[in-house]
Chains A and B, each alone.
Chain A
Amino acid sequence: MNRPANTKGARRERDRRIRINAWASNHRDCALDTIRRMLAQPVATLMTLAVIGIALLLPALLYVAGSNLGQFTDRLEATNRLTVYLAPDISEQSISEIRAALDNSELVGSLQFISSEQAAEDFARWSGLGDVLDSLADNPLPAAFVVQPISADDGTLSSLQELLNGLTGVDLIQVDQRWLERLTGISRLIDRTVMTLVFILAFAVLFITGNSIRTLIANRQAEIRVMDLMGATRSYMARPFLYMGLWYGLFGGLVAWLLLQCMLLLLREPASTLLASYGPQYQLIGLGSIGAAVLLLSSAGLGWLGAKLSVSRHLRALTRS
């Protein structure tokens, strides 16, 4: 048994390399073996994946809804337009006076006039209800000025409102900001809902994988007990189950992504039409590649974590030493 020191060192180095290789191949074996086990029980596997997928679909869907709504709030954030509706029977004279007053005000950044004919034309084009307008004797739509103030602060807006209220022929002043505020509010509400749902459904995914792993451990009790007595470490015994959790999470995330794509496919036609009516710059946004990557990575991570929590609890109970 006595060997020269250098041979011993070389042998130790070789042993170390063998051990690292064995460790790596054990990982590979576990990864492949767990996939084989999943395929061997297709119905049970599919059910678990479907439940995980549906749990993840909900926040993904709301996220997509939020980002579509965000198109509006992002683009409109800077605009705080006033729409000044003029009295229906207003004279050309009064219109000129109002225009002059607004042109001379240092509070006004830009000004656009929409005549009642133009308003009728726009309405007919966007609503598709042109026939209704045609059937009316008079054009009911008033002329309007669209005023872009130089700044969006409350002081500027109220001074402008004051100025306009003093002018004859002004019927109604509408601040577009209110509408924007509501939209931003809805958008924030959705964001908050997504966050809460992500939190709750993340727990759901943890429980689902944890429970599936618990069943798998119960099915392999005999094997675990024998391996424990043969000197398997906890991490060695846990490894196949952690891979199982990882795959459950990853493939469950994939199911969620596929379901989302199906839904977007169904929604694309009506949603695009709706969005296009607001202008050509708006279109239906999907999850995107970054969103998809986040979905898959976080679901894989959750699956792994669920397995980890379940495994450490149940292995400890099985291998009491």
Chain B
Amino acid sequence: MIRFDDVSKRYPGGHEALKQVSFDMDRGEMVFLTGRSGAGKSTLLKLLMLSEPLNQGQILVGGRNIHRLPANKIPYYRRRIGVVFQDHQLLFDRSVYDNVALPLQIDGYDKHEAARRVRAALDKVGLLNKEKLNPMTLSGGEQQRIGIARAVVNRPQILLADEPTGNLDPQLAAEIMALFEQFNQIGVSMLIASHDLSLITRLRHRILTLDHGQLIRDEHHPSRSGATAG
């Protein structure tokens, strides 16, 4: 599903964020990406979202070299990928409902179909009763769950998350991870960056470890997700 082939990324100014990173990730797999701050986790996700250009190597998603996509195809590629941000990136000028509906509006969904999907996504994250509120009035954990609802509402094939539990207490963090596992069980491929080692080792999924831009460890746990997917 996702394949990194000798990928290097150097930022203008010379900082080398990724050095010759190569790995494969299967469809329906759930993979954690860990390492210290500045190890290159965010850069790796940004390369997948096509929000940064790469300097060397190639990234294949579904067999296609995404950094070779023509500019007018990039939006359609991004629609197949859900993204959860550490700071959730919600828009405070509109309701919870409208935040979650945004990807569907962008994709040109019919209003009734969109409403059905938004409610299903909000139901999934347990916030159906808060759809009319402004996200500003909700707690950090709730805001992150809205961000997740927004990321999955378009039923993406791949879900990327950058430190999704970074600002949450351990119990809320575990709840968020449990939510991710549920999405993974219905076949969504997940790549989650997190520095919370104690949390992710407990979850027994594959873990990629980055250090100073290099992939130094790739640990496969007996996968629970692989068996149930499909």
Contacts and interface: CB of A to CB of B under 8 A. Distances in A.
Interface residues of B, number: 26
Interface string B156-177: 0000000000000000000000
A22 B106 contact: no
Contacts of B63: none
Interface string A189-205: 00000000000000000
Contact of B79 (A19, A223, A231, A321): A231
A321 B79 CA distance: 15
Contacts of B83: 229-230
A236 B75 CA distance: 11
A168 to B, nearest CB: 90
Contacts of A267: none
B110 A236 contact: no
A228 to B, nearest CB: 8
A23 B108 contact: yes
A290 to B, nearest CB: 39
Contact of B91 (A19, A226, A321): A226
A296 to B, nearest CB: 31
Nearest to B77: A231
Interface in B48-83: 49-51, 71-72, 74-80, 83
A314 to B, nearest CB: 17
B105 interface: yes
A230 B105 CA distance: 10
Contacts of A223: 91, 93
Which size class do A's interface residues fall under? 20 to 34
A19 B93 contact: no
B221 interface: no
B106 A227 contact: yes
B196 to A, nearest CB: 24
B65 to A, nearest CB: 15
Interface string A209-242: 0000000000000110111111111001000000
B103 interface: yes
Contacts of B107: 231
A222 B51 contact: no
Contact of B75 (A26, A222, A225, A232): A232
A39 interface: no
A239 to B, nearest CB: 11
Contact of A25 (B77, B79, B106, B111): B111
4 A-B pairs with the lowest CB-CB distances in the bound complex, closest first:
A231-B78, A231-B79, A22-B108, A231-B75
20 contacts: A18-B113, A21-B110, A26-B105, A26-B108, A223-B91, A229-B51, A229-B78, A229-B83, A230-B103, A230-B106, A231-B75, A231-B76, A231-B78, A231-B79, A231-B80, A231-B106, A231-B107, A233-B75, A321-B71, A321-B74
